[in-house]
Amino acid sequence: MLYYIIRRILMMVPTLLVISLMTFFIIELPTGDYISNQIAALKATGEQSSIAKLEFQLKEFSLDRPFFERYLIWVGLWPGPHGLDGLIQGNWGWSFEFDKPVDEVVGPTLPLTIVLNFATILFVYIVSFPIGIYSATRQYSWGDYGFTFIGYFGLATPNFLLALILLYLFNQWFGLSVGGLMAPEYIDQPWSFAKAMSVLGHLIVPTIVIGTSGTAAMIRRLRANLLDELHKQYVTTGRAKGLKEGQLLVKYPLRMAINPFIADIGNLIPSLVSGSVIVSVVMSLPTVGPVLLSALQSQDQFLSGFILLFVAVLTLIGMLISDLLLAVLDPRIRLGGRASS
Amino acid sequence: MSMDVEENKTSRKVEHYVDPTPFNPAVTEEMTPEQERYFQASQWQIMWWKFKRHKLAVWSGVILILFYLCVPFAEVIAPYTANSRDSLHLFAPPQKLHLFDDGKFVGPFVYGMTSEIDMETLQWVFEDNPDQVQPIRYFCRGANYKFWNLFTADFHLFCPAKGGTLFLLGTDRLGRDQLSGLVYGARLSLTVGLIGVTISIVLGLFFGGIAGYFGGILDSAIQRMIEIIRSMPELPLWMALSAALPVTWAPVWIYFGLTIILGLLDWPGLARAVRSKLLSLREEEYAKAAVLMGAKPKRVITRHLLPGFTSHIIASATLSIPSMILGETALSYLNLGLRRPSVSWGVLLNEAQNISVVTIYPWLMAPVIPIIIVVLAFNFLGDGLRDAADPYK
């Protein structure tokens, strides 16, 4: 098991390198950079005084060097103006727009981003598991049809539109403001039980909104997998031997069907993270989503680069966890590596 | 031998008898007309029969065709042009269609609107004016437009009464008709998926074909690349890439840039499907025969293997169109994709940015409805196509 975990984590290193290179390439795509653009703008207006400061910054952030050198400096594998000082060393870069280090800008939003994403994954697991089993064991019942119908709508409605519609309906029916992290009266108040409850209440809607399409997909998967297993002969054999229906289900077919279920959650994580970014923008939740949007619009490259990388790492960790879970549940995977080597 | 002897014996006893009905040697294994039709039909014909049985998919296809009619004929279908402003009707609510006025049948008409400014909330307040009955005109001359940007015309399918208004879905903050916006928006929103999917199919076929046919190092390298791309969250990447499109570009170029971006991140799924299909098909006898006869890889792939899974590619491409339509909508909604004067459903939704606008002017959310219908229809159609893609199962 330990061997498997280590191997799996080591496999992440090249992936991370490729992803960081891609991220850096993408954020460098726009012509020019924040500072060069500012210098150009100042030169156009004929203002000379602050150019010197900006040119110093240009050197300071080594924006004048070739692409690969800049990339390596950013990651921290190449000595920049201050020696090895990059992501690996814990320097996340500088946000030009806010004129602050990136970690001060994003720092407060990171915990909520992580909490929101993991809450969503948990929601998908908890909701889709029983419904999937119900739909498979009572195929073509009214409940099954109902869930299939809701599921199709969940898949078809883009999550940010769902957020918009829910915002409207909640406001219309209950007069509730669902946007934001907490009710307006708690902002700038010291933490109290009521405030915590308000935050919790405001997190429920985004969790549902982000998780709906994933849940719908998972219900369909689990239902299909379980239906395949339920028609196999060992189930009939078990039934013939007089096993109780519930016991039979949990002991054999469910164990077989649960493997792809967990593996698929890993595949679902990227889209969940995507959803959390846009839903946060719509519902004005203080996660990395809105920060990323403004950073991209103002071409604040180190800030947007860091957030893109952070989001990618978050997905990778999520997939790692789902892989490890799979290994715990399925000895074939856990021992497969050792048997072949 | 013995047959002959027997025949001789009988012919001696009874007179020679010939059965006039034609003799069918295959009488025991005769096929019913349906079977015969089935076995003689081409692969595509059988797929079509199988697809027709999937009622939901067929109806989805019909609905999609209706929606796609907006693409070439948007100017004729829409009562106004997409960017024409009516400064007297800002944020006008949807006008209701009526059939009867005072118990008398008039046909579809709307009441004229009187507008007043509410000085307390500083909002326009619109009310129906029952004195003004404005019947809708059909096949009429209305607002001028440039058909396909080629020549000026003014023919519309239906237009407001002379001097009247017709805002069936209300207007936005500049008094632009929402319904016309939706019709024009279909043009970009619906084609974005098609072009994006074409790009994604080309890339998917190329990479999947190489990986599946040659195998070895190339295969594992491409597999790794697919895994990495699939493990990255799509939307933030789309956002970053479309933010990189220069603002100075003309709308047409922004549009093509956007479709390329959408296609660039979508191909891994297709490439995977192509690869696994190729892996199984290249073990078939006919593929081996072609190789032994000295066919080059390109010929083997395109002439012998590709026809075997074209149907699968079409099915999975159909299923990936909705995600592209949604991607474009999301990007335009966030102001990172298309911008006015281009009109797409995402651009229209852009007006519904914050909750206060949405609560006061809920009709600004109207583009949600066609988006959901189109995405659902594509999903059902894709399901039907996928079932039909393997007709011999």
Q: Exposed/middle/buried for B325, CB within 10 Å: 0-12, 13-18, 19+?
A: buried
Mean pLDDT of B16-24: 82
Is the minimum CB–CB distance between B335 and chain A shorter than 8 Å? Answer: yes
- Confidence (pLDDT) at A336: 62
Query: Per-residue pLDDT tens for B216-238?
Result: 888 888 888 888 888 888 888 88
- Residues of chain B contacting A153 with CB distance shorter than 8 Å: 372, 376
Element holding A220 (H helix, E strand): helix A193-230
pLDDT above 60 (res B9)? no
Determine, for residues A26 and B240 on separate chains, whether the beta-carbon distance falls below 8 Å: yes
CA angle, residues A215, A221, A227, in degrees to nearest 5: 130
Q: Is B184 exposed, middle or buried (0-12, 13-18, 19+ CB in 10 A)?
A: buried
Report d(CA A80, CA B279) in Å as an integer.
48
For chain B, the residue count is 393
Best mutation target among A164, A177, A283, A314 (most B Cβ atoms within 10 Å) is A164
- What integer pLDDT is reported at residue B58 of this predicted model? 92
Give the confidence band of B62 by pLDDT, cuts at 50, 70, 90.
Answer: very high
pLDDT band at B251 (very low <50, low <70, confident <90, very high): confident
Distance between CA atoms of A41 and A35, rounded to whole angstroms?
A: 10
Confirm if A24 and B244 have CB atoms less than 8 A apart: no
Distance between start and end Cα atoms, chain A: 14
Most B CBs within 10 A among A21, A159, A161, hence the mutation to make, goes to A161
Report the DSSP beta bridge partners of residue A193. none
Q: How confident is the model at residue B67 (pLDDT cuts 50, 70, 90)?
A: very high
- What number of other Cβ atoms are within 10 A of residue B128's Cβ? 15
Contact between A15 and B330 using a beta-carbon 8 Å cutoff: no
Using an 8 Å Cβ cutoff, are B235 and B169 in contact? no
Give the C-alpha separation, B284 to B168, whole Å.
Answer: 59
Cβ–Cβ < 8 Å for B60, B380: yes
| B93 upstream amide cis, omega within 30 of 0 | no
Contact A318, A119 (CB under 8 A): no
Task: State the pLDDT at residue B61.
Answer: 93
CB contact under 8 A, B246 and A15: no
Q: Which residue of A has its CA nearest to B375?
A: A156
The residue whose two tokens read 């009988």 is: B10
Neighboring chain B residues of A277 at a CB cutoff of 8 Å: 233, 235-236, 239
Q: Contact, B79 vs B160, CB < 8 A? A: yes
- Residue B323 tokens read as 């995600």
Other CB atoms within a 10 A radius of the CB of residue B275 amount to 22
**Does the distance separating the beta carbons of A19 and B232 come in below 8 Å?**
yes
Q: What's chain B's Rg over C-alpha atoms?
A: 31
Residue B10, pLDDT > 70, answer no
d(CA A289, CA A291) in angstroms, rounded, equals 5
pLDDT tens digits along B113-143: 877 777 777 777 888 887 788 888 888 887 8
- Residues sharing a CB contact under 8 Å with residue B182, sequence separation 6 or more, in sequence order: B169, B345, B348, B366, B367, B370
Q: Which residues of chain A have pLDDT under 50?
A: 338-341
Residues in Cβ contact with B185 at an 8 Å cutoff, skipping those fewer than 6 apart: B82, B343, B344, B345, B347, B348, B367
- What are the tens digits of pLDDT across the range A143-181? 888 888 888 888 778 788 888 888 788 777 876 666 666
What are phi and psi for residue B137, nearest 5 degrees? -100, 150
Other beta carbons within 10 Å of A193: 7
Strands (E), chain A: 94-95, 100-101
- Test mutation, A116, A150, A294, A296, chain B, max B CBs within 10 A: A296
Both structure tokens of A243: 């096993």
- Tokens standing for B288? 């081996």
Is the ipTM here above 0.85?
no
